[in-house]
């Protein structure tokens, strides 16, 4: 990899492109909504999402917003049932969504092709509109994030979340209320820029994590995908054994691991699930956990701009998680651009 600058310079540059990428996607929003509606037809009976890695975390966000939009079941596919067990689904009336940054992961492409043969209408969310995944789909939401050279996915992940929000608008049933509006789309790029301009909270939070070898990232509802992505970023970039989970699930037994100042990262965007995350944070502190928060307002350890509604706050929370993972990585002497033993594209089948 050829680059100019020190450790993390590629990741930092690509993180800095996120406001521009999101602004461009928001500017194409109405055209993309019309494209999807024309291609996939009437509201689906249900929706199934196919993804791996960071794209799978984006799909968790997608599951929530799509079910809010359609009031129909939304499932995360188990790709191996198709690729290893040979299951042939009956998906007449369903919508299948394949998610891949490169659009070239063989497993995701083959499963979306299988779902299309099974009768599903298909949508691709990908950075490359000329990719095999796009060719397998009736409609494509291309994130157009540009080349991403650092190993950790940054701008491609946040743009995938934005793409899911666009898709939710495209398939929303009449009368569905989504937790954002046109004004929120307009405010999103500047809000993300404000986060990027404020790196000091991430440095302080990284110092609080110190040399810890474990961490849990906890959220609920629309921020769950962001918590999973935060844990993934910390794992792949720092070697921390990080786990992302729902606050509700973690209270049912796993909270037993929270003791002896284990770092706990909570993520909240306000809204109906905020009280549950606060309840978990209080329980974690009572057990000796070292709680750090990503949430709206200046009182949070890693604050989010208050103008971000809950429906788009997951995007800001992921940017905060990117900053935190980069800061921990640098403090541990690890190059964020090239974490040990990882490559940019993992070809699963």
What is the DSSP code string of 220-244? -GGGHHHHHHHHHHHHHHH--EEEE
Paired with 49 in beta bridges are: 76, 97
Mean pLDDT of 168-177: 93
Measuring CA to CA, how many Å separate 241 from each of 42, 201, 244, 326? 44, 22, 10, 16
In the β-sheet with 121-126, what is the strand arrangement from edge to edge? 74-76, 47-50, 95-100, 121-126, 139-142
Helix residue ranges per DSSP H, 174-266: 182-196, 200-209, 224-238, 247-251
Q: Cα 158 to chain center, whole Å?
A: 6
Measuring CA to CA, how many Å separate 284 from each of 194, 306, 328? 30, 25, 22
CA dihedral 241, 247, 252, 257 (to 10 degrees): 30
- What integer pLDDT is reported at residue 342 of this predicted model? 54
DSSP structure class, residue 276: H
- With a CB cutoff of 8 Å and minimum separation 6, the contacts of 28 are none
- What integer pLDDT is reported at residue 5 of this predicted model? 78
Residues of the chain above pLDDT 90, percent: 86
Question: Is 70 exceeded by the pLDDT of residue 286?
Answer: yes
Sorted by where each starts, the structural domains of the chain and their CATH numbers stand as 9-178 (3.40.50.10490), 193-331 (3.40.50.10490)
Mean pLDDT of 171-198: 96
Mean pLDDT of 103-120: 97
Mean pLDDT of the chain: 94
Mean pLDDT of 104-121: 97
Measuring CA to CA, how many Å separate 138 from each of 82, 123, 169, 319? 20, 6, 17, 31
CA dihedral 209, 308, 71, 140 (to 10 degrees): -90
Reading the block at residue 190, the tokens are: 């500047």
Residues 310 and 332 sit within 8 Å (Cβ to Cβ) = no
Phi/psi of residue 17, nearest 5 degrees: -80, -10
Residues 171 and 154 sit within 8 Å (Cβ to Cβ) = no
Model confidence at 4, pLDDT cuts 50, 70, 90, reads low
- What integer pLDDT is reported at residue 349 of this predicted model? 61
CA atoms within 13 A on the CB side of 338: 5
């Amino acid at each position: 990899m050829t680059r100019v600058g020190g450790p993390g310079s590629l990741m930092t540059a690509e993180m800095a492109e996120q406001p521009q990428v999101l602004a461009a996607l928001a500017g194409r929003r109405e055209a993309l909504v019309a494209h999807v509606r024309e291609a996939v037809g009437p509201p689906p009976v249900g929706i199934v999402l196919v993804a791996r890695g960071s794209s799978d975390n984006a799909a968790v966000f997608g599951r929530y917003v799509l079910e809010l939009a359609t009031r129909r079941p939304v499932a995360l596919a188990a790709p191996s049932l198709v690729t290893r067990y040979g299951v042939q689904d009956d998906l007449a009336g369903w919508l299948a969504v394949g998610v891949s940054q490169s659009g070239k992961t063989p497993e995701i492409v083959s499963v979306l092709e299988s779902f299309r043969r099974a009768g599903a209408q298909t949508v691709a969310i990908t950075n490359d509109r000329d990719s095999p995944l796009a060719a397998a789909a009736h409609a494509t939401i291309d994130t157009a994030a540009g080349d991403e050279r650092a190993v950790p996915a940054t701008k491609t992940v946040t743009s995938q979340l934005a793409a899911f929000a666009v898709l939710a608008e495209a398939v929303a049933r009449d009368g569905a209320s989504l937790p954002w509006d046109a004004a929120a789309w307009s405010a999103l790029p500047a809000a993300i820029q404000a986060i990027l301009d404020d790196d000091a909270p991430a440095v302080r939070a990284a110092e609080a994590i110190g040399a810890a070898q474990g961490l849990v990232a906890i959220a609920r509802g629309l921020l769950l995908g962001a918590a999973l992505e935060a844990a993934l970023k910390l794992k792949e970039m720092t070697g921390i054994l990080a786990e992302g989970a729902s606050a509700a699930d973690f209270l049912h037994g796993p909270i037993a691991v929270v003791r002896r100042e284990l770092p706990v990262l909570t993520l909240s965007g306000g809204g109906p699930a905020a009280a549950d995350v606060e309840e978990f944070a209080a329980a974690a502190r009572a057990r000796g956990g070292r709680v750090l928060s990503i949430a709206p307002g200046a009182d949070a350890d890693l604050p989010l701009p208050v103008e971000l509604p809950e429906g788009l706050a997951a995007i800001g929370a992921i940017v905060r998680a990117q900053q935190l993972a980069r800061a921990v990585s640098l403090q541990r002497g690890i190059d964020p651009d090239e974490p040990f033993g990882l490559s940019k594209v993992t070809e699963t089948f």
